[in-house]
Each structure stands twice: as C-alpha cells, then as structure tokens.
Amino acid sequence: MPEQPDITVYIEALERRILGQTLLKVRLNSPFLLRTYEPPLSAAEGKRVGQLKRIGKRIAIGLEDDLWLVLHLMIAGRLHWKNSGTKLAGKQNLAAFDFATGTLTLTEAGAKRRAGLWLLQGELALAELDPGGLEVLSATFEQFETALKRENHTLKRALADPHSFSGIGNAYSDEILHAAQLSPLAQTQKLTPQESRRLFEAVRDVLIEWADRIRAQAGDAFPEKVTAFRPEMAVHGRFGKPCPVCGAPVQRIRYADNETNYCPRCQTGGRILADRSLSRLLKDDWPRSLDEL
C-alpha cells in the first residue's frame, strides 16, 4: 500500500500537472470504485483544481465550489499520467480523470477491488475521512510520545494504526523499527524515554529519506515505480537476506495477509520472535535465537 512518502511524491507530481487546471471529464470503468452518490460525480466536471493534500494515505483533490475528489489506493491501486483521452482498456484500469494537460488513470492489480473514490462537498465531509493520526513530521516529541503511549500496544501495531500516526503502514513501520533498533513486539508503554526519543527520530528520518529517494528516482517524470518492496530497504520484504547493518538473516512474523520483517541481532538481542502459525507447528523445533537458527 502506498504510504506517506509515496503519497507525498504522488501529490507533488500531480501539483505540477493539474493544479489550476480544469477537470474536463471523469470516466469510470468499475462502478464499485465510487463510494459516494451525492453530489453526483458529474458535479466535479468543469471544475478547476485549487489544491491537493494528503489525508492519511488518501489523496484529496480540491475543486471549485468546495468539492473534494478523494482517492484511496489501498494495497494494489496505482496512479499513472497518460496522454489526454487515453482509453480505459482492461480490467485493471478503473478510472480516468481528463485534463487539457493529460489524463490521470487509476489502476488496481489483482482481482480484489479495494481502492476507493469519493466526491465530497465541504471540508467537514472531508474531515470525516481523516482517521486522525498524528502527522509526525510536524509534531513535537511530546506530542509523539503522548500518541505512542495513549494505549499499550506493540510498536508495530501502534506505528501502523492510522488513528495514532498518519500515513505509516506495514512497509515503513518495519524500516522505522529497524532504524530505531527496537523490537516490533516491544510494548509502547514500556519504552524508556531514550527509546521513545530514538523511535521519534527514526520515524522522521525514514519518512524524509524515502520521500527524497522516491522523488529523486522519479525526477520530472510521474512516479511509476511505487511499490512497498524496494531493494534498498533494510528489512521489509527481505526475509532471509542479510541485514545491511550486521549481516544477520532478516526474520519475519506472518499473520493473515501481512508480514513483519526485522533483524534479530539489531532489534531483538539475537532472539527469534515466534511466528503465529509456523512456531506453533514446529513447537520445540522452532529456533529461539540466532545461534539455534
């Protein structure tokens, strides 16, 4: 799922292309994409784009008459910039937004249709889509620590909770915890002040670094290589590969459709964390340390 750095660079690329431009037409290839019916989608046509902003992991396009087009890409949704009037061919092409400068298309890989499109009237309606998570890049350490320790959860769960922190998901939470040298299963309310400070700085450093990386990779072009799995990442999606800091094999915890990756030497003192399914299956054969592994 595109997270804060990816969405930030998407918005910057869109600002260069559609800010001040008139939305000529909206074309839908999937009726399941649209999540609202009032105002009708046709109300957005002929309106000029006045601003763009990020709402958590959503992209909000502000139009004249206080209308807001909101896109949530979910896991497999991606944006593309095409020549004006590009046809919506194929099941993966869900929507097109036509401007004089070009056409913005929304695609979604796979059979599951999770991406969403909203047309809202007014700032109050827009605010209802905001989960309310803290924007760490504009927050103080005290605000961060308050949000972190409001409830007692694992660090992995807390960082990826949109009600606690804005725009952080599965991928960047792994990278943040590796940078902070903290276990994904450490409890928020048991962190020392020094560990909380280290985590605060790691969140800021990782989000800024990756936005810079994605921005530099795209250059003046529209960002087309938005992915949660990047070879330059330290641990996310790198199970079994060497940690770039210490060389230990990266480990994982699997649950449902998600996976947490971590370095046992840098983050857990050499301890292998129990996998929710495989460790139960292996029982006594499950390795509990790097030495046993």
User: Quick one: pLDDT at residue 14?
Assistant: 98
Report the Cα 200 to chain-centroid distance in Å.
Answer: 18
Q: Tell me which CATH code domain 4-127 carries.
A: 3.20.190.10
User: Quick one: pLDDT at residue 288?
Assistant: 56
Bridge-based pairing of strands 22-23 and 47-55 is antiparallel
Q: Could you read off the pLDDT tens digit of each residue along the chain, which spans 293 residues?
A: 899 999 999 999 999 999 999 999 999 998 889 999 999 999 999 999 999 999 999 999 999 999 999 999 999 999 999 999 899 988 899 999 999 999 999 999 987 788 999 999 999 999 999 999 999 999 999 999 999 999 999 999 999 999 999 999 999 999 999 999 999 999 999 999 999 999 999 999 999 999 999 999 999 999 998 988 899 999 999 999 999 999 999 999 987 678 899 999 999 999 998 865 544 433 444 455 565 55
User: Quick one: pLDDT at residue 292?
Assistant: 56
Residues in Cβ contact with 184 at an 8 Å cutoff, skipping those fewer than 6 apart: 154, 155, 156, 173, 174, 177, 253, 260, 262, 267, 273
Q: Where are the domains of the chain?
A: 4-127, 136-285
Domain 4-127 and domain 136-285, same fold? Reply is no
User: Quick one: pLDDT at residue 112?
Assistant: 79
User: Quick one: pLDDT at residue 279?
Assistant: 41
Q: In what order do the strands lie in the sheet with 67-72?
A: 22-23, 47-55, 58-63, 67-72, 116-121
User: Quick one: pLDDT at residue 254?
Assistant: 86
CATH architecture of the region 136-285? Orthogonal Bundle (1.10)
